[in-house]
Amino acid sequence: MILRSAIFAAATRVAPHVRHTPVITVEGELLGLNFPVQLKLELLQNTGSFKPRGAFNRLLNATIPEAGVIAASGGNHGAAAAYAARALGVKAEIFVPTSTPATKVNRIASYGALVIREGETYADALAACRSRQFETGALDVHAYDHADVLAGQGTVGREFEMDAPDLTHILVATGGGGLIGGMAAWYAGSAEIISVEPETCPTLHTALLSGRPVECAVSGLAADSLGARQVGALMFPIAQAYVARAVLVPDGAIAEAQRLLWEQLRLIAEPGGATALAALTSGRYVPPAGARVGVVVCGGNTDPGKISQP
């Protein structure tokens, strides 16, 4: 289990490097809902996603060898690890699959990291990364399945509670489960945490049904950020204890949530960043009457030209 004290410590450690992102209250009618929603705009985080929280907490809590750091990623974690490595003056090698969009590859390279495109999925890139790590001895910065990464992502929960202390239900997208694991550890039952995944990447949904993390086929619109084949071993018991529900949404609902975020709020979310909101706007998740609902909009690394115009 990740303790709240570890998340507190992470918040202090990463504070000089990450942005305390804003929360805005959105009237329900703008989103076709009959209740307001508080959005945590984690897409305005440095590097365009929540990932630097975990990456900095991992790097700042480790001794980094001469070989620097190494990571596999669908893109966002790689950008965060590269950004953190540059900030701390160490080398980074980042493995991404060939499916990672150009926006993300360019972002990683812009931070001075060496980018290696290897395999078709995140799992393939991870395998290649592990072989290379064995050769170089670089510090392996896992995208989600490490206690320091989970604690770092948990700082999203701490900030959300500071700025919106009245929330009763919080929707979070799940990929490998670092963000939702950290947030569920922070709230520890004091608010209901709702996992949202694409129907085509149902890793936590399947794991909770099976009683253990299991491999799933992953594909679809949000697979470059939510396309881990299996949730992390560390997050799973936290999810069993503190994730109230695991909801699935179709890709069409994700695209519609992206469109609403742009049309009504002038926010560009990537598919994975709009997935949590999609559970509400599609009606796949309907909170109980009187709920005070929060949603994490967790990433914006996409080509803005792909958002459909009204």
37 beta partners: 26, 293
| Footprint on residues 240-259 left by a copy of itself (CB under 8 A) | none
Pair of tokens at residue 122: 């995140």
Of the candidate residues 3, 9, 24, 188, the single one contacting a copy of itself (CB under 8 A): 24
What span, in angstroms and rounded, lies between the C-alpha atoms of 278 and 270? Answer: 12
Question: Minimum CB separation from a copy of itself for residue 25, in Å?
Answer: 8
- Contact region for a copy of itself (CB under 8 A) — 23-31, 60-68, 185-193, 249-257? 23-31
Of the candidate residues 25, 98, 131, 190, the single one contacting a copy of itself (CB under 8 A): 25
211 near a copy of itself, rule: CB under 8 A: no
153 near a copy of itself, rule: CB under 8 A: no
| Footprint on residues 80-119 left by a copy of itself (CB under 8 A) | 103, 106-107, 110
Closest by alpha carbon to 144, among 119, 170, 171, 126? 126
- Contact region for a copy of itself (CB under 8 A) — 131-139, 206-214, 222-230, 302-310? 302-310
| Residue 74 or 177 with smaller CB distance to a copy of itself | 74
Pair of tokens at residue 297: 């909009």
- Contact region for a copy of itself (CB under 8 A) — 90-98, 224-232, 239-247, 266-274? 266-274
303 near a copy of itself, rule: CB under 8 A: yes
165 near a copy of itself, rule: CB under 8 A: no
* DSSP secondary structure letter of residue 244: E
What span, in angstroms and rounded, lies between the C-alpha atoms of 206 and 225? Answer: 18
Of the candidate residues 248, 255, 268, 280, the single one contacting a copy of itself (CB under 8 A): 268
Of the candidate residues 89, 288, 290, 310, the single one contacting a copy of itself (CB under 8 A): 310
| Residue 272 or 300 with smaller CB distance to a copy of itself | 300
Of the candidate residues 6, 7, 10, 23, the single one contacting a copy of itself (CB under 8 A): 23
Residues near 73 by beta carbon (within 8 Å), at least 6 away in sequence: 79, 81, 94, 95, 96, 100, 108, 122, 125, 143
What span, in angstroms and rounded, lies between the C-alpha atoms of 121 and 111? Answer: 23
* DSSP secondary structure letter of residue 30: G
296 near a copy of itself, rule: CB under 8 A: no
Interface pattern 32-71 for a copy of itself (x via CB under 8 A): ---------x-xx-x-x-----------------------
Pair of tokens at residue 299: 């990433």
21 near a copy of itself, rule: CB under 8 A: yes
SS3 category, 234: coil
Amino acid found at 250 = P
What span, in angstroms and rounded, lies between the C-alpha atoms of 188 and 32? Answer: 30
Cα–Cα–Cα angle for 252, 95, 156, rounded to 5 degrees = 60
| Residue 266 or 290 with smaller CB distance to a copy of itself | 266
28 near a copy of itself, rule: CB under 8 A: no
Residues near 132 by beta carbon (within 8 Å), at least 6 away in sequence: 70, 93, 95, 116, 138
What span, in angstroms and rounded, lies between the C-alpha atoms of 211 and 101? Answer: 33
Q: Can you give the binding site for a copy of itself, defined by CB under 8 A?
A: 19, 21-25, 30, 41, 43-44, 46, 48, 103, 106-107, 110, 262, 265-268, 300-301, 303-305, 307, 309-310
